Amino acid sequence: MKRRSRLVGWVGAAALVVACFGISTGAMGQEEVVIGFTGPLSGVAAEYGQDCVNGIEMAIQDINKAGGITVGGKKHNLKLVRLDDQIDPTQAVNNCRRLKDQHKASVVFNPVFNTLAAMAKINEEKGHEFLIMAYTSTPKMVEMGNKLAVAIPPPFTAYVRTFSELAWEEGWRKAAMVVTLGAYGDEWRAAFRDYWQKKGGQITEDKPANYYAETDFSAQLTAALATKPDFLLIGGPSATTALVIEQARNLGFKGGFVLIDQAKVDYIENILKGVKLLGNTIGVAAVRDIPTPSVPAWDKRYREAYKRMPTWEAVLNYGATHAVARAMEAAGSTTDAVAIRAAFPKAFPMLGDKFPSEYHGVTPGGRIHCPASIQKLDPGGKYGPVLLAAWWFKDRAEFDKFKAARPAQETWAFFKHEKEE
Amino acid sequence: MELFLQQLFNGVMLGSTYAIVAVGLTLVFGILHVPNFAHGHVYMLGAYLAFFLMTQYGFGFWIALFSSMLIMAAVGVILERVAYRPLRERPHIDSFISAVGTLMILETSVIVIWGPQGRRIPNPYPDIVELFGVTMSHQRLLVILAAVVMILGLHLFIKRTTAGATIEAVAQNREGAMLVGIDVNRVSSLTFAISAATAAAAACLVAPIFIISPTMGALLGMKAFVIVILGGLGSIPGAILGGYILGLVEALGGGYLSAAYKDVYAFGALILILSLRPTGLFGKEVS
Amino acid sequence: MAVTRTLKERWWQIFFLALALALPQLLTSRYIFQILVMGYLFSIATLSLNLILGYTGQASLAHAAFFGIGAYGVAILTKGGLSFWMALPISALIAASVGFLVGLPTLRTRGSYFAISTLCFGVIVSIVAGNWISLTGGYTGIVGIPTPTPIRLPWFGEISFQDRTAQYYLVLAFLLLTLAVMHRLTGSILGLSFMAVRNNEVLAGALGIDTFRVKLLSFVVANFFAGLAGGLYASLIGSISPSTASMELTFNWLVYLLLGGVATLSGPIVGAFLIPLIMESLQFLAEYRMLIFGALLIAVIIYFPRGAMGAVQMWRQRVSGILHRTRGAREGVVAGQEP
């Protein structure tokens, strides 16, 4: 009697859990092709994650509005399933398993290296492969050698070089760094230090700060400015970077700023309510100034849909989602991740008449050829022309051939890229 | 020398915020024994309320600040009633879980209502003065001044008013206070109201210099715990001193030593101090 | 007779063990597999937290730091070419030794002072992990950590841990080992002295228990198992970063422990499965997820003081109470006179 009641209790409890579980993982009966996303949708990096997922969502809506993708003579609609991982590798892996198992997703987007590294351990299992779309600019992503991963943004080393060259042209020689702590900031600092010193420049102070948790950077800035630098290398999340700029100017700093590529100058302008403090700033180009014909309309649509300004995260993930759709069509499969990855080169070129940012191809190691777009603001805070840095050509001859075919009003720069070839 | 003075100023400004927030925490943690890990998030919500009132209803800075303090006092009372009072006779760790739940609710609510992005409150006093080669913005001077005023006000309230005296009575001897007829429930509500209102005030004061975001209180809340323990549980002078010490250590350590390791020095020093003085600088011996 | 009684009392434990052993044969979903493996793994961490917090009454907030030390140990040693089977015990021992050194100053403090001292230590570990770039890889962390080295067994041949079933049994084995140690420990005289310290440290001291040594021992053992769990984690997830030692993990385990049932052996395991399952099933709420979860935490801690296991126990007592009464009435036996 007692035993039976106990059994009933346990079975009841187990059933409750399973039922609870069933609600969320419920059967997926539709014919839709699921595109997965796992990333920070809450916590400190929530804004970043949401910018990324907005771009993916907008692309999927556009693709479906245009009739979906055609694979094997059949039309398929795409469907986005977004899961939150709060940059926790355990959760990210859970999410990938879930997307693959329950939703039959063959492609999963993620925007943070620490979670991508954990995902890269499980995406090549035979019969359970899925393609990782990695929104990360660190060369480590490609160095890992995962055969089913595609990196989306330009490598940050392309920015390091271009920024350094531009700063050098300005006659700036003494740099002080107040860059965000963290994997990405550490790599940036190391790469910049290396390049700048090789060039003959000087680094007078290096005071990294926690852009995610702190708000007062006076201590670091005071120390950095005491060395009288020509410019400050700063950057992390855009909102905090705006704060650093304001605090530096309040401490009387009149020199230039170089913003590492995570910080976006147009976003900062928005926070600082103008460009008054932004004179002599070098950074990633403003989205509205990207020199492609489709940007103005895209920019407007994005603002209407999400009630906020578009960032590069949205722009590049938007394009990457289209690239996935095109690769699926080229591969003739929506489920075979290996075939989709193999067909990826056939998705390109994706040009500016249809896409806000151009994609010209993909490296053998798996990074999309997207030019690094750079802008400099003059001493009065006026935006200069956008400089497009191509980093994927083997040599100058190849680059020159490419450039000859481009419209004359575009400014291109060539950088030979040592890694990721 | 100028550099040192500038760092000193930075440290005092930082310490002022820490002191106000830590005093609020030491009231609920030291006196009511509620490890309110959501205190930093209460601070955050205070800033968002001011932001909301200023941008939505066009309130001026000071009116927004006082409204935010009032509303947060009410939020504090509700918080105590719903999340902590049912756990009063239970181990502290239970209240800790409740606090974790509370901070999740506060943070997520703000993200849902105002979005995850950073927001700005217009700076009411954007001017800058230079004194002895030290650059000070008016708003930063205001923070330092307001901290002194609030600390004095709180001191007078506790020492000179009956309501304040009941708080002190409970702090000194909970059972004794109950025996002489002090309503512990009322004292709890009052303490939470003060704690939340001071946190809101601190948040509103620094918000124009900084950026407000849903996670702005997380690290501050943790630091407040460290300060409260450093000063000694329930000790208001301890919390104030601890706040200024941490502010100065951070500014000078971050400026002169390694910026990346500055928290290691601060927290390492705390472990060391506690191993020498196991109940903090001003703490009573715990039974 | 004794055997049948044990069977009667322990049938549900045996049932769960059998279920755990059989699951890999029944399951096909890699997603469920992943959740199970991580559930076992975090059960080990929560069980060890239970030893220091639940049984000894010392709220260590540095538990994830020791988990992290174990994880970094295994990552660095196995990437350096050492066999996983050497690296794992070494790393767990390192975690235990660091625990010993940290316990010396911090365990002199009590209550909240101990909690915050350990919290500070936890922060220090994650900062050092983020900045000692030559050893830890900085905030990028360490990637490409090898899966456990294959072992050769006399009858089975070689077991490769590339296979998820093998990984499953590996973690399950370590969980059972942890459970066995915790069972023996808490049932022994030593376990009683842990609980004496928890219930009243002054009284325990007056009774002749060296409370400091008892606390230190409990802390060291707890951290050994935290390090063990961390080492396993590193090897299975394949990449680690300072977040592996972060406060959030400690907070997670605290929630598992208190909602599962503190100072019980089944509670930590129930919590380590139940909470992640609830979190997973709330994913459909998107940005409202943490809102609902937060409210759930508050409600559960208020209405179920001793967590899920406490609730189950209470419920069982109530049910058996009713059964007793009805049976007693029917058979005309006065309660208490039953053999």
Question: Nearest chain C Cα to B79, which residue?
Answer: C298
Mean pLDDT of chain A: 88
Contact criterion met (CB < 8 Å) for A118 and C11: no
Contact criterion met (CB < 8 Å) for C290 and B98: no
Task: Sort out which chain A residues have CB atoms less than 8 A from B111's CB and list them.
Answer: 42, 46
Q: How far is C145 from chain A (nearest CA, A)?
A: 9
Give the C-alpha distances (Å, rounded to integers) separating B141 from B65, B125, B138, B241, C15: 17, 10, 5, 19, 68
Question: Nearest chain A Cα to C10, which residue?
Answer: A3
pLDDT at position A210, please? 84
pLDDT in tens, chain B (287 residues): 777 888 888 899 999 999 999 999 999 988 888 889 999 999 999 999 999 999 989 899 999 999 999 999 999 999 999 999 999 888 888 888 899 999 999 999 999 899 888 888 888 888 888 877 788 888 889 999 999 999 999 989 988 998 888 888 888 887 888 888 888 889 999 999 999 999 999 999 999 888 898 988 888 999 999 999 999 888 889 999 999 999 998 888 877 777 778 788 888 888 888 888 888 888 765 44
Give the C-alpha distances (Å, rounded to integers) separating A147 from A82, A134, A335, B22, C30: 24, 12, 16, 52, 21
What are the tokens at C215? 């606390």
Is it the case that residue A419 has pLDDT exceeding 80? no
Q: Helical H runs in A264-409?
A: 265-271, 295-306, 312-331, 337-342, 396-404
Contact criterion met (CB < 8 Å) for C31 and A101: yes
Residue B98's region, left for phi above 0, alpha for psi from -120 to 50, else beta, is alpha
Q: What is the pLDDT of residues B67-116, one digit of tens each?
A: 999 999 999 999 999 999 999 888 888 888 899 999 999 999 999 899 88
Are A211 and A181 in contact by the 8 Å Cβ rule? The answer is yes
pLDDT at position B52, please? 94
What are the tokens at B279? 């109940």
Is it the case that residue A126 has pLDDT exceeding 50? yes
- Between chain B and chain C, the number of residue pairs with CB atoms below 8 A apart is 134
Q: Would you tell me how many other CB atoms lie within 10 Å of the CB of residue A206?
A: 20
Across the range A45-52, mean pLDDT stands at 90
Task: Sort out which chain B residues have CB atoms less than 8 A from A215's CB and list them.
Answer: 206, 209-211, 216
A25 shares contact with chain C (CB less than 8 Å): yes
Residues of chain C with pLDDT under 50: 1, 331-339
Q: Which of B90, B93, B263 sits opposite C127 (nearest CB)?
A: B263
pLDDT at position C326, please? 63
pLDDT at position A295, please? 93
Among the listed residues B84, B96, A13, the one whose alpha carbon sits nearest the alpha carbon of residue C258: B96
> CB-based contacts of A380: which residues, under 8 Å, 6+ apart?
A275, A279
Is it the case that residue A265 has pLDDT exceeding 90? yes
Give the C-alpha distances (Å, rounded to integers) separating A106 from A74, A131, A313: 18, 6, 22
Contact criterion met (CB < 8 Å) for A271 and B255: no
Q: Which amino acid is at B188?
A: S
Percentage of chain B exceeding pLDDT 90:
44
Q: Which amino acid is at B162?
A: T
Alpha-carbon distance of C41 to C227, in angstroms, equals 11
pLDDT at position B276, please? 86
Are B271 and A239 in contact by the 8 Å Cβ rule? The answer is no
Q: Is the dihedral of CA B32, B38, B44, B47 positive or negative?
A: negative
**The pTM is what?**
0.87
> CB-based contacts of A273: which residues, under 8 Å, 6+ apart?
none
pLDDT at position B202, please? 94
Q: How far is A51 from chain B (nearest CA, A)?
A: 10
Contact criterion met (CB < 8 Å) for A20 and C281: yes
Contact criterion met (CB < 8 Å) for C117 and B274: yes
Contact criterion met (CB < 8 Å) for A213 and B219: yes
Among the listed residues A390, A237, A20, C107, the one whose alpha carbon sits nearest the alpha carbon of residue B215: A237
Give the C-alpha distances (Å, rounded to integers) separating C318 from A5, B52, C311, C321: 11, 51, 10, 5
Task: Sort out which chain A residues have CB atoms less than 8 A from B11's CB and list them.
Answer: 219
Contact criterion met (CB < 8 Å) for C239 and A24: no
A83 shares contact with chain C (CB less than 8 Å): yes
> CB-based contacts of A345: which residues, under 8 Å, 6+ apart?
A361, A362
Task: Sort out which chain B residues have CB atoms less than 8 A from C259's CB and list them.
Answer: 97
pLDDT at position C335, please? 37
Are A412 and A388 in contact by the 8 Å Cβ rule? The answer is yes
Q: What is the pLDDT of residues A191-213, one digit of tens each?
A: 999 999 999 999 999 988 888 87
Lowest mean pLDDT among A219-223, A280-284, A314-318: A219-223
Question: Nearest chain A Cα to C140, which residue?
Answer: A183
Residue of A41, A44, A214, A215 to mutate, interface with B, max B Cβ within 10 Å: A215
Give, to the nearest 10 degrees, the angle between helix C84-106 and helix B262-276.
Answer: 50
Q: Which of A42, A101, A120 sits opposite C29 (nearest CB)?
A: A101
| Helix, strand or coil, per DSSP, at residue B25 | helix
Is it the case that residue A2 has pLDDT exceeding 50? no
pLDDT at position A15, please? 52
Are A170 and A223 in contact by the 8 Å Cβ rule? The answer is no
Question: Nearest chain A Cα to C16, which residue?
Answer: A10
Alpha-carbon distance of C237 to C242, in angstroms, equals 14
Give the C-alpha distances (Å, rounded to integers) separating A90 from A85, A93, C5: 8, 5, 41
Is it the case that residue A24 has pLDDT exceeding 80? no
Task: Sort out which chain B residues have CB atoms less than 8 A from C295's CB and list them.
Answer: 101, 105
Q: Element (H or E) spanning B283, and its range?
A: none
Are A317 and A328 in contact by the 8 Å Cβ rule? The answer is no
Question: Nearest chain A Cα to B216, which residue?
Answer: A213
Question: Nearest chain C Cα to B227, which residue?
Answer: C116
B74 shares contact with chain A (CB less than 8 Å): no
As a dihedral over the C-alpha atoms of residue A178, residue A181, residue A184, residue A186, rounded to 10 degrees, the angle is 70
Q: Is the dihedral of CA A125, A126, A128, A133 positive or negative?
A: positive
| Helix, strand or coil, per DSSP, at residue A392 | coil
ipTM: 0.87
β-partners of residue A78 are A33
**Is the peptide bond between A349 and the residue preceding it cis, with omega within 30 degrees of 0?**
yes
Contact criterion met (CB < 8 Å) for C120 and B280: no
Q: How far is B112 from chain A (nearest CA, A)?
A: 10
Task: Sort out which chain C residues have CB atoms less than 8 A from A118's CB and list them.
Answer: 237-239
Are B250 and B258 in contact by the 8 Å Cβ rule? The answer is no
Q: Would you tell me how many other CB atoms lie within 10 Å of the CB of residue A61?
A: 14
Alpha-carbon distance of A385 to A388, in angstroms, equals 10
Buried b or exposed e, range A97-119, using 16+ CB within 10 angstroms = bbbbbbbebbbbbbbbbbbbbbb
Residue of A54, A86, A94, A144 to mutate, interface with C, max C Cβ within 10 Å: A94
Q: Which of C106, C251, C302 sits opposite B100 (nearest CB)?
A: C251
Residue B4's region, left for phi above 0, alpha for psi from -120 to 50, else beta, is alpha
Eight-state DSSP code of residue B212: B
Contact criterion met (CB < 8 Å) for A271 and B118: yes
Are C74 and C230 in contact by the 8 Å Cβ rule? The answer is yes
Among the listed residues C199, C215, C212, the one whose alpha carbon sits nearest the alpha carbon of residue C58: C215
Q: What is the pLDDT of residues C265-306, one digit of tens each?
A: 889 999 999 999 888 888 888 778 888 989 998 998 898 888
> CB-based contacts of C192: which residues, under 8 Å, 6+ apart?
none
